Structure 1
Amino acid sequence: MNDFEKPLYSIYPTIYCSGSVYVNDVPVVDWYGEKTKGEGGYAGDVIINQALLQSGKHKIVGKLLPRMGQESLTERDVMMIDFYCAEADRDKWKESRIKFHPKIESPWDGLTENIKHPYFEIETEIEVELPFVLDGWQNSVNLTDFDEVELFQEVLSYYRQIQGILQIHDAPRFLELSREKMKLQEQAFYFSEERKESFKQSAAKLFNQNLEVEPLNEDELEMQIMGNGKLVRLMKRNGGQPLQFKSPDIKKQGNIELEVKLHMRSQGNGLSII
């Protein structure tokens, strides 16, 4: 285990295909759509404290899917995941960073050439030690008990509420709806008061750009229940996020996607962002 006062756990996935990485059945990386065309890929450090919630053993799954425009995975489609831990203090993060678990990866010589793989998984179990136990969605309502059609409409209604807030660029209202998620992140990432304020200012800066919002078309959406039944979200069928600010300059950057997961603390409270 580690001797860190404020351990910050992260994964470093390298994805040369379409796919997602899940921590305890919660997606922490999604890589789909137009950006998966061609030879490019995704690589980056992703903090996962907010999906771990407490000390113990946790399941990590990498899901490989074909690039956009392909029907199956090819020999060149790969995924690798490295595992790191570091002291959260900015002054100590770089020098303290260590690998705490063996890397996992898809077959090093590619998937079997004469078999068409529409889907492939890699997985492992990690063990972590954290100085907190966060409730998050652990004790929330099991959404698999709901009628799927009715739940979809309830989730869609909530997404439309958020879209309306984005369209009028109401940052304070969006932050108010996101307060549970913000509190969880503040605890999981050990945010200082300065960092909390910086986060709010970044949100205000984004909303103050007065960017257009992509339309929310029901026919393009699908519902995903995750987090062992405790979380739900909508995704576009092409793998994109439903809630997007249009890019101010599409030649320089893509749309700004807002990833939203919902849970239900209790039957009477309804859905909320977490």
Structure 2
Amino acid sequence: MQHNFLKPYYSIYQRFGCSGELYVNDVLVYSFFGDRTQEGGSTGAVPINNALLESGKYKVIGRMFPRFSNETITEEDYMSLDFHVAEAEGPLGTMKKTRYKFHPRIEQPWDGLSENINYPVFEIATEIEVELPFVLDGWQNSVDLSKMKEEKLFEEVFAFYNQLYLVMESHNVGKYLELSKEKMKLQEKAFYFSEERKASFQKGAMQIFGQELQMVPMKKDELRIQVMGHGKLVRLVRLDGTEALKFKSPDPENHSDIEFEVKLHKRDAKKGLSII
């Protein structure tokens, strides 16, 4: 469905009643893992402009996994995805007033997954078409990392993550923001950040680092590598599916650890990895 928005803002409203992942354009945009998935679920809007990069048709995949401590998906587990677009240009409240569904909802079979089949994973998928007023300089033309030997790639990625871990452990927010500037620049264009919004983004990071929280230890044998973005992006993730980089929660009884999702790419073969 076409729109006449000056600054279209695309999002997916997710409802996860299980562990799961959400991919757009073969890029992970949301995940829900760890002990927080034992009961209840996750709901909320996931902005996706930064994963789309330009106008076109894109595959969206919702991947269901068993809840924490379960081995298979049960018939009670669920996932649904709604697709929204809104106008970001205008006074406060414009997005809420203009938001509409541009694509039909997708969800797991309406009567639940069969209780007679033990699903270790279940996918729901669709194709969406979007119109954007920009072409972002993302990872489209970056090095195809899937062609590298996995062991060598893992060592490179771990070395970068370890560098970032030390920056976070020392609560050096300035260095963290410097290492993240390529990603920030892309997000600023994708989501039409005003100067006020840019300042707010940096202030949020400073507030998190300012708490001087402890890092959750990151051990090499407790991590696995994920290549995505049609081979152009890579990340490390813990074996339980949670992020490799995270601060310990200041209130563990009521809140989960503070996770940092980091994707890397190589602009060209001569350049090292960088956050995107």
Q: What is the letter of the counterpart of residue 58 of structure 1?
A: Y
Describe the shift of the 1:44–1:266 C-alpha distance in structure 2 as closer, same or farther (beyond 3 A): same
Secondary structure of the structure 2 residue equivalent to 1:133:
coil
Shift of 1:204: 1.1
Work out which of the residue numbers 259, 263, 266 in structure 1 matches 2:265. Answer: 263
TM-score, normalised via structure 1 length: 0.98
TM-score (ref. length: structure 2): 0.97
User: Residue 269 of structure 1 aligns to which amino acid in structure 2?
Assistant: K
1:36-51 to structure 2, matched below 5 A, reads: 36-38=37-39, 40-51=40-51
Q: 1-side partners of 2:20 and 2:250: how far apart?
A: 27
Residue 3 of structure 1 is matched in structure 2 by 4
How far is the alpha carbon of 1:119 from its aligned partner? 1.1
Structure 1: distance between partners of 2:45 and 2:163: 32
Instruction: Name the SS of the counterpart of 1:69 in structure 2.
Output: coil
1:185-229 per-position Cα deviation (integer Å, ceiling 9, x unaligned): 000000011111111111111111111111111111000000110
SS in structure 2 of the partner of residue 212 of structure 1 = coil
- After the TM superposition, which residues 132-211 of structure 1 pair with which residues of structure 2 at under 5 Å, given as runs? 132-211=134-213
CA distance in 2, matches of 1:66, 1:250: 23
Structure 1 residue ranges (4+ consecutive) displaced by more than 4 angstroms after TM superposition: none
Secondary structure of the 2:62 match is: strand
The whole-number CA distance in structure 2 between the counterparts of 1:20 and 1:253 is 20
Any idea what the Cα deviations from partners look like across 1:235-259, whole Å, max 9, x if unmatched?
A: 0000111111111121231210000
Q: Secondary structure at the match of 1:45?
A: strand
- Secondary structure at the residue paired with 2:64? strand
Q: 1:6: Cα distance to partner?
A: 0.4
Counterpart check, 1:128 vs 2:130: yes
- Counterpart of 1:69 in structure 2: which amino acid? S
> For residue 17 of structure 2, what is the aligned residue in structure 1?
16
Q: CA RMSD, aligned part only?
A: 0.9
Match of residue 33 from structure 2: 32
Q: Deviations 1:82-128 (Å, cap 9, x if unpaired)?
A: 00000114431110010000000110101122111111111000001
Amino acid of the structure 2 residue aligned with 1:83:
F
Give yes or no for contact 2:79–2:108 (8 Å, CA) kept in 1: yes
- 1:81 and 1:174 map into 2 onto residues whose CA distance is 33
Unaligned runs of 5+ in 2: none
Unaligned runs of 5+ in 1: none
CA contact (8 A) 2:36 2:256 kept: no
Q: Which amino acid is 1:157 matched to? A: A
Q: Distance in 2 between matches of 1:97 and 1:215?
A: 41
Distance 2:248 2:88 in 1: 33
Farther off after superposition, 227-236 or 204-213? 204-213
Per mean C-alpha deviation after superposition, the further-off stretch among 184-193 and 202-211 is: 202-211
Tell me how far apart the structure 1 counterparts of residues 21 and 70 of structure 2 sit (CA, whole Å): 17
Distance in 2 of aligned mates of 1:269 and 1:2: 39
The 2-side partners of 1:153 and 1:146 are apart by: 11
Partner residue of 2:219 out of 217, 220, 242: 217
What letter matches 1:21 in structure 2? L
Q: 1:100 maps to what in 2?
A: 102
Q: What secondary structure does 2:72 align onto?
A: coil
Whole-angstrom CA distance in 2 between matches of 1:257 and 1:49: 21
Alignment of 1:240-259 (within 5 A): 240-259=242-261
CA distance in 2, matches of 1:251, 1:61: 32
Task: Give per-residue Cα distances to partners, 1:46-93, cap 9 Å, x unaligned.
Answer: 100000000010110000111111111111111100000001144311
| Pairwise CA distance, 1:149 | 0.2
Displacement of 1:143: 0.2
